[in-house]
Chains A and B, each alone.
Chain A
């Protein structure tokens, strides 16, 4: 089973990397960019076929390691 965990910065947390990327896109002349926030994507393969179990494991993975919930939110998707 394949899954994806997406980790993003919480609103209000300053993201200097996102800001720098935003500036670079604007200087490249890419139209219509209002703002950029950088995050992380983890593509994970799971053993077994139980979707509920997989979601539980992924949430544990995100809470314990993949995200720092002081500054980050995460979203779990079993694909």
Chain B
């Protein structure tokens, strides 16, 4: 799996992401600076990592989304390439038009930094192949703006097309206001594009991939991507 990890000023999770990708695939990722106008040849997966690109100025992800490299990413995605954005990366993908909707300030205005439980809604996508549908995984979050919202029509379409892949839930998988940590519409933690090749999610699966991290529930996502690409090859 040849992965490219985008680097914007203010991003700080790129090395965590590269480490998780290497653990799953055995291959080093290429770090791609935001001013580049092309992705490395043969890229299988583009990852937009978390952090605080441009200090969250204007709106989270707004300025990064207009970087030169994002034109290349849009083209890559239009050709069916796999793109994954985590946390600030999710915000950047929404701002760049690759995913619908937007991440608003958390409903209770607090920056939240702790583990959450996610229910995997389906297992037949490139980004969830490593899990079973309905499985509950535990991964960390660290965000102030993770409250996903979109207009009613878009939300209806996301649900109808099965584009919601991850939802905040209780440790036993119940979804509801009590477990919806940031107020996101329909407890949405992660969505995929209509074509199924662009994922955005607020939680950090890359931070739960090794025993020393206390949990390895994030591994499934990366292992699933590797498997997906091997099968496609």
Residues in A lying within 8 Å of B, measured CB to CB: 13-14, 16-17, 20, 64-66, 68, 70-71
Q: Is B11 an interface residue (CB 8 A)?
A: no
- Report whether A16 and B109 are in contact in the complex, using a CB–CB cutoff of 8 Å: yes
A-side interface mostly:
helix
Cα distance A14–B184 when bound, in Å?
11
Decide yes or no: A71 and B109 within 8 Å by CB, A13-B149, A65-B62 being known contacts: no
* Binary CB contact string for chain B from 52 to 96 against chain A (1 if under 8 A, 0 otherwise): 000000110011001000000000000000000000000000010
Q: Is the CB of B95 within 8 A of A68?
A: yes
Which residues of A are found within 8 Å of B58, using beta-carbon distances?
A: 65-66
| Dominant secondary structure of chain B at its interface with chain A | loop
Q: Does B34 contact A (CB under 8 A)?
A: no
Q: B108 on the interface (CB 8 Å rule)?
A: yes
Q: A14-B183, A16-B106, A70-B151 known; 7 other A-B pairs, CB under 8 Å?
A: A14-B149, A16-B107, A17-B105, A17-B109, A20-B109, A65-B66, A71-B149
30 of the cross-chain contacts (CB-CB < 8 Å) are A13-B104, A14-B104, A14-B107, A14-B149, A14-B183, A16-B104, A16-B105, A16-B106, A16-B108, A16-B109, A17-B105, A20-B109, A64-B66, A65-B58, A65-B62, A65-B63, A65-B66, A66-B58, A68-B59, A68-B62, A68-B95, A68-B102, A70-B100, A70-B101, A70-B102, A70-B150, A70-B151, A71-B102, A71-B104, A71-B149
CB contacts between A and B, total, < 8 Å: 33
A71 / chain B contacts, CB cutoff of 8 Å: 102, 104, 149
CA distance A64 to B100 in the complex (A): 16
Q: How far is the CB of B189 from chain A (nearest CB, A)?
A: 18
Residue of A nearest to B100 (CB): A70
Q: How far is the CB of B6 from chain A (nearest CB, A)?
A: 19
Q: B154: nearest residue on chain A (CB-CB)? A: A70
Whole-angstrom distance between the Cβ of B104 and the nearest chain A Cβ:
7
Contacting residues, chain B, for A70 (C-beta < 8 A): 100-102, 150-151
Question: Once the chains are docked, how many angstroms separate the CA of A16 from the CA of B149?
Answer: 13
